[in-house]
Amino acid sequence: MSARELSCEQVIERLFDYLDRELDHQQAADIERHLHRCRDCFTRAEFEKRLRARVEASGRVKAPPRLHHRIRSLLDQFDGD
C-alpha cells in the first residue's frame, strides 16, 4: 500500500491491523486519508474503536459475589461427574 487511494474494501480488510497499530507509517497514512474522506468507513472505524474500549473496560469490572457463587456451583457439578 503506497500513497494511493484505497477502496472501502481494502480499508475494511486492514481496519483491525490499523486499530492495533500493526501497519507501517505509510499504510496507516493511506487508511487515515481514506477515513477522512469516506464517512461510511470512518463510522465503521469509530464503532470498532468504541466497541474495543467498552470490551476493555468491562474486563476491569469486578463480577458480583452471586456470579462467583453460581460459577463455583457449576464447576463443582462438573467435578462430581
Asked if residue 76 is part of any domain, the answer here is yes
Question: Which domain range does residue 31 map to?
Answer: 8-80
Asked if residue 2 is part of any domain, the answer here is no
* Domain of residue 27, CATH code: 1.10.10
Asked if residue 3 is part of any domain, the answer here is no
Asked if residue 18 is part of any domain, the answer here is yes
Q: Indicate the residue type of 61.
A: V
Asked if residue 16 is part of any domain, the answer here is yes
- The residue behind cell 500500500 is 1
| Predicted local confidence at residue 8, as pLDDT | 97
CA-based nearest residue to 42, from 13, 3, 8: 8
CA-based nearest residue to 56, from 19, 9, 10, 8: 19
Asked if residue 1 is part of any domain, the answer here is no
Instruction: Report whether pLDDT(81) > 60.
Output: no
d(CA 74, CA 66): 12
Q: What is the greatest pairwise CA distance in the chain?
A: 62
d(CA 35, CA 49): 13
- Per the structure, the count of domains in the chain is 1
Asked if residue 40 is part of any domain, the answer here is yes
Average pLDDT over residues 50-58: 90
Dump pLDDT digits (tens) for 21-53.
999 999 999 999 999 999 999 999 999 999 999
Q: What is the mean pLDDT of the chain?
A: 90
| Predicted local confidence at residue 68, as pLDDT | 85
